[in-house]
Structure 1
Amino acid sequence: MNITVFGATGAIGALTVNELLTQGHTVTADARNRKKVPSGWGDDVRVVVGEISDRAAIHSAIDGADVVVSALGPDLSRKAQGLPLVEGTRHILDSMTRHGVKRYIGHATPSILDPQEKPTAQTRMTKFLGSMFLPRASRELVGMIDQIMASGIDWTIIRFTAPKNTPKTGRVRAGFFGTDKIGAAVSRADIAAFTASQVSDDTYLNRAPAISN
């Protein structure tokens, strides 16, 4: 399949691109800065350079895609301003409609509930800490995911709490708070592998599974 990846040069995004290539998919990577594009991709990845506010770049990246994968996440710096990813997500969804792309896979934290979940101590704590210490980022995350869940596309939102730069284990717990036992720590490599696996798996269609190691 043809997969477009946003946030492709980030820590999880780059690993996700590699996983998709290993699975034999054709990948287009949207990158804010060409200098951050891994040299190892060579000609295997089509790269589109542009800010998330650049509608023309987004349209170019999504043109021809079967699935959109987003590894975008809020800037956690206290110097960050505005809600750029809310606007960017709107551009992505508009472009998906324009190009007839109906499948979206993205990321969030347990502060976002799955539509069939009820709040638990773990989700309440994540939401409280986010709103208390990272209020702008928290609003941006909610603004992104609210749009996606209301868009009418086929989405999957993968939630995780504490990503680590540890080796890929291939062992991931996936489920929902209140019914499944989900921990906190998870390797970025395992997040990437799980994300890539959703491209051809509809188990979590219109659901927001939480994952951990």
Structure 2
Amino acid sequence: MRVTVFGATGGIGRLAVLRLLDQGHQVTALVRTPAKLALTHSQLTVITGQLSDRDAVEQAVSGADAVISALGPSLKRSTTGTQVTDGTRIIVRAMEAQKITRFVGLATPSLADPRDKPHWKHKVLPVLAGLMFPNALAELKGMTVAVTGSDLDYTIARITNPTDKPATDRIRSGFLGHDRVGSAMSRADIAAFLVSQLTDARYRRAMPAISN
């Protein structure tokens, strides 16, 4: 499968790229600074560019079977603007123009899925995020709406507490109030879940919460 990865230099994105390559996929990564990715592979194409560069985004998704976005907003309180939301909109438009439908991305349980039942995370997390990371929460909402408001065949994995612990291959997924999903999850397992969704139809046009 030909897969384009955005956010490939981040902790989760880089692990997703490595997993895709290990599984024999052809990978294209759009990055601002290739040196941060520090990967070379016969099946990896690296395109240098920014999310705001429509031509670079269109080039990155050209010919892809699916897109994985490991993009996330900055948690610095000094950060302003909607760069990630705007970039996600550009990705969505490029995918629609090229009739690429499969999108796998990330969000937070601060945002509800219609399949959720009432849960404490719906009440507590948005308040905490709004107080501590108001711009990041606004970005997460914006980038999620950009995808869910489109016709893309999306799966958006909601994560709470990513860690740098080793992969466990013990992944819980489901909807709040229905399924036993915790909070902490290793970035390696998050990356594994994202890659698994390329061929797993359980969460099509859904936002499952995931954890170890």
C-alpha contact (below 8 Å) 2:65/2:102 kept by paired residues: yes
Deviations 1:113-165 (A, max 9, x none): 11222441122211111111111110010011011111011000001100000
| 1:199 partner SS | coil
C-alpha separation between the residues in 2 aligned to 1:109 and 1:21? 27
| Equivalent in the alignment of 1:35 | 35
| Equivalent in the alignment of 1:99 | 98
C-alpha separation between the residues in 2 aligned to 1:212 and 1:180? 11
C-alpha separation between the residues in 2 aligned to 1:91 and 1:109? 21
Deviations 1:47-104 (A, max 9, x none): 0111111111100100000101100000111221101011101110110011110110
1:179 aligns with 2:178: yes
Q: CA deviation at 1:182?
A: 1.1
After the TM superposition, which segments of 4 or more aligned residues of structure 1 sit over 4 Å from their partners?
A: none
C-alpha contact (below 8 Å) 1:3/1:68 kept by paired residues: yes
C-alpha contact (below 8 Å) 1:183/1:212 kept by paired residues: yes
C-alpha separation between the residues in 1 aligned to 2:7 and 2:82? 16
What are structure 1's unaligned runs of at least 5 residues?
A: none
| Equivalent in the alignment of 2:109 | 110
| Equivalent in the alignment of 2:144 | 145
Aligned identity (percent) is 46
| Equivalent in the alignment of 1:20 | 20
TM-score, normalised by the number of residues in structure 2: 0.97
| Equivalent in the alignment of 2:204 | 205
1:122 aligns with 2:121: yes
| 1:124 partner SS | helix
C-alpha contact (below 8 Å) 1:113/1:119 kept by paired residues: no
| Equivalent in the alignment of 2:88 | 89
- Equivalences, count: 212
| 2:192 partner SS | helix
* Structure 1 segment 148-159 matched on structure 2, within 5 A: 148-159=147-158
What are structure 2's unaligned runs of at least 5 residues?
A: none
Q: CA deviation at 1:108?
A: 0.5
User: Comparing both structures, which one devotes a greater share of its residues to helix?
Assistant: 1
| 1:42 partner SS | coil
Structure 2: which amino acid aligns with 1:120? Answer: H
C-alpha separation between the residues in 2 aligned to 1:138 and 1:14? 23
| 1:200 partner SS | coil
Q: Could you say what the CA RMSD is over the residues aligned between the two structures, in angstroms? A: 1.0
Of stretches 146-155 and 119-128 in structure 1, the one that deviates more from structure 2 is: 119-128
| 1:158 partner SS | strand
C-alpha separation between the residues in 1 aligned to 2:95 and 2:72? 19
Structure 2: which amino acid aligns with 1:127? Answer: P
| 2:41 partner SS | helix
TM-score, normalised by the number of residues in structure 1: 0.96
